[in-house]
C-alpha cells in the first residue's frame, strides 16, 4: 500500500491525518480495540477513541458488539460508495437552496483565477452556457482534460472552432492545427488556454506543464473585452485555415468559397456584440459638447 498517496486521498475525502492513519491501520489489521490501535500508531488513547467515534459516524468503521469493543474498517469500495451517495445528497440540497438566490448579472470586471480545477471548471461552465459559438485555442494537455465537455457542446449543436497543436479529430467541430505547433509547444512556458464563447465572455490561462498549477489566468464577461478577444481568436483561426488552403493548392475561387463559410464568425452575428452595442448606447443625460476653438492671442508686432 502506498501510504502517502492513500493518506492524501483520504484527506481529500475529509479525513483528518489521525483518522486516515487509523483507517489505513485497520485495513491492515482488523478487528482491533481502540487501545490496540493507539499502541500500534503511538498516539494518545483519548485522541484515538475520539477519532474512532468520528470514523464510525462517517461510516468508515464498524463496531463489533460485545466485550472489548472491537472495531473493523469497512471495505474501501463500500466507503467510496457511501461518500458518493452522501456527496450527491449534499449537492442536491445545495442546488435546491441556491436555486432561489438571484445571480448578479452585468459584471464587466476582470477576475484572476488561481486554482487549476477552477480554471477547467470555468471553461466547462462557459461551454455549457454558450448558445451560439465557442472558439478555443488550446494546448494538448488542457484539451485532453476538456475533451468530453467540448464533445458534449458539439453534440448539443454549438458551433465550435478549435485551434490545436497536434493532430486531433473532434467530430462535428471545426478544427485547424497551428502553423508551427512543435515550435510553439517547445518555446511556450506552459500550457495555454484561450476560450471565448458567444463573443460574450472569455478566459485566458497559462498552466504549469506537468503539474496542477496555474501560472496566471483571467476571466471576464465584459462585452468589450470578449468581442476583442473573439476578433483575435477568429482572425488567428482563419489565418491558419487560409494557410492550409493555400498549402493544399486550391484555386482562388475554391479558397473564397471555403472562407465564405466563416461569415458566421462576424461579430454582428453574435450575442456579445449586441451586449456591447447596448452598453455603448447613449444615456438620457449624455450631452455632446462642441469643441472649444483655441484662443488666438494678439500677435506682437
Backbone angles phi, psi at 253, to 5 degrees: -65, -40
pLDDT digits (tens, 9 = 90+) for 181-201: 999 999 999 999 999 999 999
Same fold, 3-80 and 110-279: no
Q: How confident is the model at residue 13 (pLDDT cuts 50, 70, 90)?
A: confident
Q: Which single residue is written with the C-alpha cell 463496531? A: 63
Can you tell me the distance from the alpha carbon of 158 to that of 284, in angstroms, rounded to the nearest whole number?
A: 38
Can you tell me the distance from the alpha carbon of 9 to that of 54, in angstroms, rounded to the nearest whole number?
A: 18
Q: How confident is the model at residue 29 (pLDDT cuts 50, 70, 90)?
A: confident
Angle at 129 between CA 88 and CA 137, to 5 degrees: 110
Q: How confident is the model at residue 128 (pLDDT cuts 50, 70, 90)?
A: very high
Q: Which single residue is written with the C-alpha cell 493518506? A: 7
Can you tell me the distance from the alpha carbon of 132 to that of 269, in angstroms, rounded to the nearest whole number?
A: 9
% of the chain beyond a pLDDT of 70:
90
* Model pLDDT, residue 112: 95
What are the residue ranges spanned by the domains of the chain? 3-80, 110-279
Show the DSSP H helices in the chain as ranges.
3-12, 17-28, 34-41, 45-58, 76-98, 116-129, 140-155, 181-187, 223-247, 252-260, 271-279
The answer to whether residue 67 scores a pLDDT higher than 80 is no
Q: pTM of the entire structure? A: 0.68
Residue from 186, 14, 169 nearest 83 by CA: 14
Q: How confident is the model at residue 6 (pLDDT cuts 50, 70, 90)?
A: confident
Question: Cα separations (Å) of 6 from 17, 27, 297?
Answer: 11, 12, 84
153 or 107, which is more confident?
A: 153
Can you read off the three cell numbers belonging to residue 125? Answer: 461552465
The answer to whether residue 105 scores a pLDDT higher than 50 is yes
Backbone angles phi, psi at 160, to 5 degrees: -120, 125
% of the chain beyond a pLDDT of 90:
57
Residue 69's contacts (CB-CB under 8 Å, 6 or more residues apart) are 33, 34, 63
> 3-80 maps to which CATH number?
1.10.10.10
* Model pLDDT, residue 301: 45
DSSP state at residue 165: S
- For the 110-279 domain, the top CATH level (class) is alpha beta
The answer to whether residue 102 scores a pLDDT higher than 60 is no
Amino acid at each position: 500500500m502506498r501510504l502517502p498517496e492513500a493518506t492524501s486521498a483520504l484527506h481529500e475525502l475529509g479525513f483528518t491525518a489521525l483518522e486516515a492513519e487509523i483507517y489505513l491501520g485497520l485495513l491492515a489489521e482488523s478487528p482491533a480495540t481502540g487501545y490496540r490501535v493507539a499502541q500500534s500508531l503511538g498516539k494518545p488513547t483519548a485522541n484515538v477513541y475520539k477519532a474512532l467515534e468520528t470514523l464510525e459516524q462517517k461510516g468508515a468503521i464498524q463496531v463489533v458488539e460485545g466485550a472489548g469493543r472491537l472495531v473493523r474498517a469497512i471495505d474501501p469500495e463500500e466507503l467510496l460508495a457511501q461518500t458518493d451517495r452522501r456527496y450527491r445528497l449534499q449537492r442536491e440540497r445545495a442546488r435546491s437552496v441556491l436555486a432561489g438566490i438571484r445571480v448578479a448579472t452585468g459584471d464587466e470586471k476582470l477576475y484572476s483565477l488561481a486554482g487549476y480545477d477552477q480554471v477547467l471548471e470555468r471553461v466547462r461552465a462557459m461551454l455549457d452556457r454558450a448558445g451560439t459559438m465557442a472558439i478555443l485555442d488550446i494546448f494538448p494537455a488542457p484539451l485532453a482534460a476538456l475533451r468530453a465537455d467540448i464533445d458534449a457542446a458539439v453534440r448539443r449543436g454549438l458551433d465550435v472552432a478549435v485551434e490545436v497543436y497536434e493532430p486531433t479529430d473532434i467530430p462535428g467541430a471545426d478544427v485547424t492545427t497551428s502553423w508551427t505547433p512543435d515550435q510553439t509547444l517547445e518555446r511556450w512556458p506552459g500550457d495555454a488556454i484561450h476560450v471565448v464563447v458567444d463573443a460574450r465572455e472569455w478566459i485566458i490561462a497559462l498552466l504549469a506543464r506537468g503539474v496542477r498549477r496555474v501560472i496566471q489566468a483571467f476571466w471576464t464577461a465584459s462585452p468589450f473585452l470578449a468581442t476583442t478577444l473573439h476578433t483575435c481568436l477568429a482572425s488567428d483561426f482563419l489565418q491558419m485555415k487560409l494557410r492550409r488552403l493555400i498549402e493544399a493548392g486550391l484555386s482562388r475561387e475554391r479558397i473564397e468559397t471555403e472562407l465564405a463559410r466563416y461569415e458566421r464568425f462576424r461579430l454582428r452575428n453574435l450575442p456579445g456584440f449586441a451586449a456591447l452595442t447596448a452598453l455603448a448606447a447613449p444615456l438620457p443625460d449624455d450631452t455632446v459638447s462642441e469643441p472649444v476653438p483655441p484662443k488666438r492671442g494678439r500677435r506682437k508686432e
